[in-house]
Structure 1
């Protein structure tokens, strides 16, 4: 099997995903185009016409993100018409799935040079808008895209309720969740002040000449004291509609302990990230520098009511395929969809706190659904290089009860 190498990983800043966000007036195709056009600037001998494919994750594929945003992103970049593109949707794992698809193509020998990543403009394409009009009462059915039989059979509930089920089932307290969230904000603030993201952030120049070059979501003032005063966001709708559904699957819990709110869940943001992957042949042909090797990848399925437990099973599979153990991994990037998720993964796999999301995560920086997996992988590559460490594992929980994980190894050259 051929090796697949990461030779570059870049991203836009992440901006608040509402009409006041600094990227709300930027079409998501243009977010992609800006990154694509940065790649040949950073990799001087890269011949973009030789790129075999552009693969992008995108979750809410409606409105400005409809059709095939990967191909339209290529067109927006004015790349040669010979460069194709396709879009993938594995919910929150879409960006990492795109990278894994690219790596698999290269490892198989089918392709030599691929751009993969993802994009989400959550200000322009509201989360869940691909499911049609929703209310509190029909949200479970809406998540099954109009099929009440699936919703009823699997007792589907919103992800916030699923996160609260994890907290209840695995004894994760509100205090633990808020402490974790406060830590994410603190670590992100330190990383920003230390310019750890500057290597990979590509500023966005808007039509009016404004430059967006910084992550907009982090708020260091959101400390534990502040977070602990925020209401549990899913308590009302849970007690009104969804707790009873969840308890059909987990009757032993008796009651759902609602601990998640706006401060200990991932931020709603706009953003994109791309990764340039290459074979050994393409590295030599284009004068590229290998930064990391894709060691292994895995996806897994989980029980759909609790939904968000997949990072544990996916990580175990990826580690097994790599011939590695938990303790071999120097850095863990566990997507902070909700605080209970990385806390659950940490407890189940016995991961030292100091190895998890060392520069903060989606609670502080935001989670642009389709783009996050690629962004996390790029963050891991940068941090491996900064620390001169060897292995990182990137993992995300996924709607519908899935997980995804990728192990990478830093290489020099």
Structure 2
């Protein structure tokens, strides 16, 4: 007998600051530790919830190996102090891993298989490189021209989108500048505070004189990537990094980053049982495939599909978090769908704030949940392109 579809509600949503990979806040911090911090903070937002009621945790990660391997989801739930009855599964849909984790958790509730779930994402691009430690493509990828796009680096796909959608260098740099400016304004106004999990960072250095290791601690509570000194003049000086005569630069691309996000999702029954206040309702989700060599256009296909599933029009959306993998693909999506620029990334995007791959979907979902509540808006969307040629979009409604 099929189960009746029920609503899934987000009752807690938080994320860590985003650090620059390789040299930033979290260069020596394990991604599972970042996830533990986010999960604990999410749980602190719902003190009346009995942790034993949590069925499972679905956690996204783009390269689940090394420090974020060995089923990081399960390990992090144990390390966070949750009962051993709480399960954990790590899922990978590259840049959409975090929003896919939320969709999977919500779907367990919507079909009646669970009443309380944890969803999230974590990624350390400092400790696990892009592509993983041992990339290995199927030889068939290189045997046929129609498959070769699978092996394209993300930057090269952005160059192809820039060419086909005629997105010039000046437009890309202007978009990048606005991302930084919006992020700085939001930081100065304290608009990230509600969604943020402050993280204590431990810096250890040897004292050669005493032979001891000195440990210093500091707490970080803001994203690291946004720059006040960004200018069009400075961006214009940067050279293309993916094609000799291209237009995609480090300045108009997303920043490689470290971070984590966590959300708690409940059924209506759980809301009543534990006297929980819903922040948002999970409305719909869609994923669509596109040619791998132009993967950046994925949201052009996924956004209309998610809107159809929700029974909404594009005009119904009040807030859109469109992951800025590259300015080129972001502008191609915005222009093709005629998205309202004022509604897209009002607090800046990945070019300024960073893009910790598998964590981004959960991070930006936390942003949407709190932005809708803070601004008293109704519908928000998280959407992104995905490596190897996909696009994803998820819609949330403020409760």
Give runs of aligned pairs for residues 245-260 of structure 1, distance below 5 A.
Answer: 258-260=246-248
Give 3-state SS (helix, strand or coil) of 2:162's partner. Answer: helix
CA distance in 1, matches of 2:81, 2:262: 17
Instruction: Say whether residues 1:395 and 2:395 are aligned partners.
Output: no
Distance 1:73 1:291 in 2: 24
Other-structure match for 2:174: 179
What TM-score comes out, normalization by structure 1 length?
0.89
Give CA deviations for 1:278-320 in whole Å, capped at 9, x if unaligned.
1101111122111111111101111111122111111010011
Q: Does the 8 Å contact 1:62/1:125 carry over to 2?
A: yes
**Where do 1:198-277 residues align within 5 Å?**
198-207=193-202, 208-236=216-244, 258-277=246-265
1:368 is aligned to 2:361: no
**Which residue of structure 2 lines up, in the alignment, with residue 50 of structure 1?**
53
> Contact 1:307/1:401 (CA < 8 Å) preserved in 2?
yes
Q: What's the offset of the Cα at 1:76?
A: 1.6
Partner of 1:12: 16
In 2, distance between residues paired with 1:160 and 1:206? 31
**Under a length normalisation based on structure 2, what TM-score does the superposition of the two structures give?**
0.92
The count of corresponding residues between Structure 1 and Structure 2 is 380
Give yes or no for the alignment of 1:354 onto 2:342: yes
Instruction: Deviation per CA, 1:38-92: give whole Å up to 9, x if none.
Output: 2232211011121111110001112111110000111221221111100000000
**Cα distance between partner residues in 2 of 1:151 and 1:76:** 46
Instruction: For structure 1, list consecutive stretches of 5 or more residues without a partner in the other structure.
Output: 133-141, 237-256
Maintained 8 Å contact 1:154/1:305: no
CA contact (8 A) 2:280 2:396 kept: yes
Kindly provide the CA deviation profile for residues 314-346 of structure 1, in whole angstroms up to 9, marking residues without a partner as x. Answer: 101001111111111111111000001221111
Asked whether the equivalents of residues 295 and 407 of structure 1 are also in contact (C-alpha less than 8 Å), the reply is yes
Equivalent-residue separation in structure 2 for 1:178 and 1:302 (angstroms): 26
Q: How far apart are residue 153 of structure 1 and its match?
A: 3.5
Q: Please say if residues 14 and 366 of structure 1, whose CA atoms lie closer than 8 Å, have aligned partners that are also in contact.
A: yes
1:190 and 2:185 equivalent? yes
Equivalent pair of 2:42/2:262 in contact (CA under 8 Å): no
| CA displacement at 1:206 relative to structure 2 | 3.0
Alignment correspondent of 2:326: 338
Consecutive unaligned residues in structure 2, runs of 5 or more: 203-215
Q: Does residue 1:154 correspond to 2:158, yes or no?
A: no
The separation in 2 between residues aligned to 1:39 and 1:155, in whole angstroms, is: 42
Task: State which of 29, 32, 50 in structure 2 corresponds to 1:29.
Answer: 32
Q: What is the Cα deviation at residue 210 of structure 1?
A: 2.0
1:364 counterpart SS class: helix
User: C-alpha distance in 2, partners of 1:393/1:211?
Assistant: 30
